[in-house]
Amino acid sequence: MLLACYDFPMSAIQIKDVSEEIHEQLRERAKESNCTLGEYVLRLIRADLLRPSVAKWKADMLGRPSAAIDTQFVIDEIRRMRDTAK
């Protein structure tokens, strides 16, 4: 009967070699979030998938135009701001 509630096929993921310490921390976080451990881990996965991969991010950054930065000016400005804040 439970399977009849799903309109689409679902897969399972098994994570091996999780230390007891990490497992306990995950269980606590899930409990604090009022959800099961599986629901909590699935939320983490979904949140991660909303962000671009490191490779995609790097490609996007390399595709942007670069700008020349006067590093000495930046250093001088930081020192000036630090000195005036005293």
Model confidence pLDDT, tens digit, residues 33-55: 999 999 999 999 999 999 999 99
- Judged on CB neighbours under 10 Å (0-12, 13-18, 19+), 53 is exposed
Question: What residue segments make up the domains of the chain, in order of their start?
Answer: 19-54
Tell me the C-alpha distance between 36 and 31, whole Å. Answer: 7
Residues 6+ apart with CB under 8 A from 33: 40, 43
pLDDT at 85: 80
Query: Mean pLDDT, the chain, as a whole number?
Result: 91
Q: What is the mean pLDDT of residues 55-70?
A: 92
User: How sure is the predictor about 70, in pLDDT bands with cuts at 50, 70 and 90?
Assistant: very high
Nearest-angstrom CA–CA distance, 44 and 37: 11
| Residue 45, token pair as written in the block | 């996965």
pLDDT at position 3 is 57
Q: Give the SS3 label for residue 79.
A: helix
- Indicate if the pLDDT at residue 1 is higher than 80: no
3-state secondary structure of 13: coil
What was the pLDDT predicted at 30?
A: 97
Q: For position 81, what pLDDT does the model report?
A: 95
